[in-house]
Amino acid sequence: MRLLAAAAGLLFGAPALAQDAPPVDDPLKLGVLRNEEIRVVQDRLFPKDNRSEIGVAVGFLPFDDYTVAPLGRLTYGQHSSETFGWEVQLAGGYGLPNGHYRELNSPTYGVQPEAYRYLASVTGGVELSPIYAKLAWGTGRVVHHDVYFPVVAGVTVEQLVEVDLAGEASAIAVAPTLGLGVGTRVFMGDGAHLRIELRDDVMLQSRASGDRAIKQNVGVTVGLGWLRGS
């Protein structure tokens, strides 16, 4: 009888004791993350907050009706937070006549359009960076990148392709400029990153003929940037 009573105690008593035991708060337990733990996943391996950034890039303006312009650009900026910063850009290049311009200027048509070539620009403005992402690449490599949207203003300097068309007027046009774009940084470590940007600069251009025209310079640039500071 004592043996049966002991067996019954083991069968029915052990579950009762386990059920009555208080839960143990184990911080190492895997499962659903608590709200206060979400930040661990969101932490950025390459932060921008309170860091300056310098960069160099090359690109071209491929969408002008009459010219195509290779360009180079130097940048300097400061990030006041992970999502907001400012930047200034100094760029220079040279617009070359494209096939459309050469066709119009050929003996077949004999037309010299009032086309302007890109020479230089100085711009500055703010930058919004609302997206930071991680992408699995290849055999398990994780690539960190962000997406940013620059809004800039400044001046652009251009020159008549055929300077003789200017007559007594200046062949140089200095135009106020407003630019909007989108870009991404692909972080490579130690503050260095690959930077790709597409930007549309809209100018109000006063031309040698006396006309005022709105012109767009859509540029694509690829370069390297470095984040400085802690």
Give pLDDT, residue 17: 39
Structure-model confidence comparison of residues 10 and 124, the more confident one: 124
Q: How confident is the model at residue 18 (pLDDT cuts 50, 70, 90)?
A: very low
Give pLDDT, residue 27: 53
Give pLDDT, residue 141: 81
Taking all residues of the chain, what is their mean pLDDT, rounded to a whole number?
Answer: 86
Q: Is the pLDDT of residue 180 over 50?
A: yes
pLDDT tens for each residue of 32-76: 666 665 555 567 888 999 999 999 999 999 999 999 999 999 999
DSSP 51: E
Report residue 173 as tokens: 């046009």
Say how far apart CA 105 and CA 112 lie, in whole Å: 6
Domain regions of the chain by residue span? 49-228
pTM for the full predicted model: 0.79
DSSP string, 156-187: EEEEESSGGGGTTS-SEEEEEEEEEEEEEEEE
Q: What pairs with residue 136 in β-bridges?
A: 142
pLDDT tens for each residue of 87-130: 999 999 999 999 999 999 888 888 889 999 999 999 999 999 99
Give pLDDT, residue 161: 94
Give pLDDT, residue 168: 84
191: left (phi over 0), alpha (psi -120 to 50) or beta: left
Q: What pairs with residue 127 in β-bridges?
A: 85, 150
Q: Is the pLDDT of residue 131 over 70?
A: yes
Q: CA-CA distances (angstroms) from residue 65 to 36, 119, 133, 211? A: 55, 16, 37, 18
DSSP string, 108-147: TT------EEEEEEEEEEEEEEEEEEEEEETTTEEEEEEE
Other CB atoms within 10 A of residue 82 CB: 16
Other CB atoms within 10 A of residue 207 CB: 20
Mode of pairing for the β-strands spanning 51-61 and 67-79: antiparallel
For residues 179 and 202, the answer to whether their CB atoms sit within 8 Å is yes
Q: Is the pLDDT of residue 14 over 90?
A: no
Say how far apart CA 213 and CA 152 lie, in whole Å: 20
Q: Is the pLDDT of residue 3 over 50?
A: no
pLDDT tens for each residue of 147-174: 999 999 999 999 999 998 888 889 999 9
Give the CATH fold of the 49-228 domain. Porin (2.40.160)
Can you give the length of the chain in residues?
A: 230
